Amino acid sequence: MPNRTIAPPIVDPVAFDISLPACKKYTLSNGIDVFAVDMGSEDTLMINWVFYAGNWYETEKAVAAATNYLLKNGTTQRTAFEINEHFEYYGAYLNRACYNETAELTLHCLNKHVDELVPVVAELVTGSVFPEEELAIYKQNAQQRLRVNLAKSEFVAGRLIDAYLFGENHPYGKYLNLEDYDAVQRNTLLQFFDTYYRHGRCVIFAAGKLPANLISSLEQHFGKLPMKGHTAETKTVQHALQPAAQKKYNIVNDPDGVQSAIRIARPFPNRLHPDFQKVLVLNNLFGGFFGSRLMTNIREDKGYTYGIYSYLMNFTAESGWIISTEAGRQVTEACIKEIYSEMQLLRDEPVDEEELMMTRNYMIGSILGDLDGPFQVIGRWKNMILNGVDADYFSRGIEIIKTVSAAELQELANKYLQPDSFYELVVI
């Protein structure tokens, strides 16, 4: 029996030996891969269908998002009400989401209800009809949300900085205007649906306490469909980067606004680049968490903002390094000056061991938290699989966090934290 009067030793997270729990791979008859993590004590299950049907593949704005959203709003056999009633009856939740490269359906349910729910998901991705009345409601609601968001400087800043980095016609940079929703037609959605869902590329992720019949159920309802696996050879859709020539912008969105939205960003290679994982450590030092340089200086010391962060964008083809904050209108210039000052300090001086160790512990601790449960574990696997990195990527990342040196980080700061490489945007 442990002696409760003696405190246990404190162990830094960097001392832990962390490994990513195993993920099994199954392949359905039509080539669709199923990646499954069987763990957890609760009788719950998550199944995530990922289609290569994001806005990367659309030829008209808003088509990918509208198609994805309306998958639940009527099929050849059920109305939108009947679809929602079916999932609610079994205590399940079916969500959908559309991103730049991919679009998804995600089912959360009790594992005993797989046979009642998986067939209906298959029905959605083979028999959705996109009723005109549902499309009209979607357009109206989307336009109303956009009108509200356009009054917010941080929303305007978020979409403009992407356009400057990648170009307004690139999938990562284009943004929607009110008239773009008016132009969406049902026939266009049906064509996109047929190409990128019914006959598209798909990969499935499952996690939780997996029922014994899960793979057979997926094979029965998805393995015979005319879909293809996510690695199937298809005609590659290319998009040329067209970054803005100008680097600095000041936009007045609200003449009476008292706060400005600041975005400072530069293009950056994707996670296949050898510098990517080392730069993740540098980013955390710079602005990636509450103990970072930017937060300590600009929030804690200067009081210019409630929060400031930097991050690397999680895009597949390209990426970007972004500093994001909102500050009082009268201290905007001073805030920007301090951001560049912190860049210079990282270029000029190696980080001391105490600060580097704090950052290492934070990153390892965050990863430990992220692996707390099957849904989080499959999320890690999903991110690696969709980005085309091998199974050793996770362990290499852990090793880099533990061993990257101050000299290496200073070298990376001199390579990437150069003010001339950054776009600068202020929206008031």
Which carries the bigger pLDDT value, residue 3 or residue 20? Answer: 20
Distance CA 265, CA 152 (A): 20
* CATH code of the domain containing 381: 3.30.830.10
Confidence of residue 3 (pLDDT cuts 50, 70, 90): confident
Tell me, yes or no, whether 53 lies in a domain.
yes
Tell me, yes or no, whether 77 lies in a domain.
yes
Same domain for 200 and 77 = yes
Tokens found for residue 118: 């998986």
Q: Which of 56, 66, 80 is nearest to 184 (CA)?
A: 66
pLDDT at 170: 95
Same domain for 343 and 252 = yes
Tell me, yes or no, whether 240 lies in a domain.
no
pLDDT at 391: 87
Tokens found for residue 410: 């200073």
Mean pLDDT, rounded, of the chain: 95
Query: Does 219 score more than 90 pLDDT?
Result: yes
Which carries the bigger pLDDT value, residue 16 or residue 188? Answer: 188
pLDDT at 236: 76
Same domain for 189 and 299 = no
Same domain for 126 and 30 = yes
Distance CA 382, CA 401 (A): 21
The distance between the two most distant Cα atoms of the chain, rounded to a whole number of Å, is 72
Q: What is the DSSP letter of 290?
A: T
Per residue in 356-378, pLDDT (tens digit) is: 999 999 999 999 988 889 999 99
Q: Are 319 and 165 in contact (CB under 8 A)?
A: no
pLDDT at 12: 81
pLDDT at 199: 96
Same domain for 261 and 215 = no
Pairing of strands 228-229, 201-208: parallel
Same domain for 409 and 312 = yes
Tell me, yes or no, whether 236 lies in a domain.
no
Same domain for 377 and 257 = yes
Q: What is the DSSP letter of 172?
A: T
How much of the chain, in percent, has pLDDT values that exceed 90? 89
Same domain for 183 and 36 = yes
Per residue in 164-198, pLDDT (tens digit) is: 999 999 999 999 999 999 999 999 999 999 999 99
pLDDT at 28: 97
Q: Which long-range contacts (CB under 8 A, 24 or more apart) does 115-121 make?
A: 115/213, 115/217, 116/90, 117/86, 117/87, 117/90, 117/92, 118/47, 118/217, 118/218, 118/221, 118/222, 119/221, 120/78, 120/83, 120/86, 120/87, 121/47, 121/49, 121/94, 121/221
Same domain for 336 and 266 = yes
Distance CA 60, CA 186 (A): 12
Q: Are 104 and 205 in contact (CB under 8 A)?
A: no
Q: What is the DSSP letter of 255?
A: T
Distance CA 392, CA 153 (A): 41
pLDDT at 16: 81
Same domain for 253 and 190 = no
Picking from 229, 259, 280, the residue at the C-terminal end of a domain is 229
Per residue in 237-293, pLDDT (tens digit) is: 889 899 999 999 999 998 888 999 999 999 999 999 999 999 999 999 999 999 999
Distance CA 236, CA 285 (A): 37
Tell me, yes or no, whether 239 lies in a domain.
no
Tell me, yes or no, whether 5 lies in a domain.
no
Confidence of residue 10 (pLDDT cuts 50, 70, 90): confident
Number of structural domains the chain divides into: 2
CB atoms within 10 A of CB 414: 13
pLDDT at 134: 96
Q: Are 39 and 377 in contact (CB under 8 A)?
A: yes
Confidence of residue 337 (pLDDT cuts 50, 70, 90): very high
Same domain for 365 and 406 = yes
CA dihedral 386, 387, 392, 393 (to 10 degrees): -130
SS3 state of residue 198: helix
Q: Which of 92, 24, 47 is nearest to 218 (CA)?
A: 47
Tell me, yes or no, whether 167 lies in a domain.
yes
Tell me, yes or no, whether 298 lies in a domain.
yes
Same domain for 103 and 74 = yes
- Residue 317 has φ and ψ, to the nearest 5°, of -80, -45
Range of the domain at 392: 248-427
Query: Does 17 score more than 90 pLDDT?
Result: no
Mean pLDDT of 86-113: 96
